[in-house]
Structure 1
Amino acid sequence: MSERELYCDSCQGVQLFEVPPCEDGHGADCPELSCTGCGSAVLIATFRFTPARLADRRPVSRGHRRAA
């Protein structure tokens, strides 16, 4: 089991959290953790996004032209 220390809201302090047996096949990388003190569960949610590229953005037309 993988273990790490995190703040537990129920215990109101830093506690040891561990990964319970994962039925989804994540193994040690399972996003579900449980507090070893009180048993509260937390989910570590990660997400992936693609940032917008500035080169792909077009300037906003303001209706007037600037002098060169």
Structure 2
Amino acid sequence: MSDRELHCDNCEGVQTFEVPPCVDGHGADCPELVCTGCGTAVLIATFAFPAPRLADRRPARRPAPHRRAA
């Protein structure tokens, strides 16, 4: 089992969290963790965000107004 120290909201402090036996076959990489103090389960999830493109943030240029001959 893998152990990590995280803040537990129920225990109101830093506690050791461990990976329970995983039936999904994740092993030590299981995203579920359980507080050893009170048994609260947490799920660790990661998200990947694409980097913003700076070229897309520039305001569009307006064309110059046309002049009419008199």
**TM-score when scaled to structure 1?**
0.77
Amino acid in the other structure paired with 1:54:
L
Mapping 1:31-50, distance limit 5 Å = 31-50=31-50
Amino acid in the other structure paired with 1:28:
A
Alignment partners' CA distance in 1, 2:53 and 2:12: 42
Residues 58 and 4 of structure 1: CA distance in aligned 2, closer, same or farther (over 3 Å): closer
Alignment partners' CA distance in 2, 1:25 and 1:53: 38
Structure 2, unaligned stretches of length 5 or more? 65-70
1:54 is displaced (CA, Å) by: 2.9
1:47 is displaced (CA, Å) by: 1.2
1:11 maps to what in 2? Answer: 11
SS of the aligned residue for 2:47 comes to coil
**TM-score when scaled to structure 2?**
0.75
Alignment partners' CA distance in 1, 2:60 and 2:48: 32
1:49 is displaced (CA, Å) by: 2.2
2:68 maps to what in 1? Answer: none
SS of the aligned residue for 1:63 comes to coil
Percent identity of equivalent pairs: 70
Aligned residues: 64
Structure with larger Rg: 2
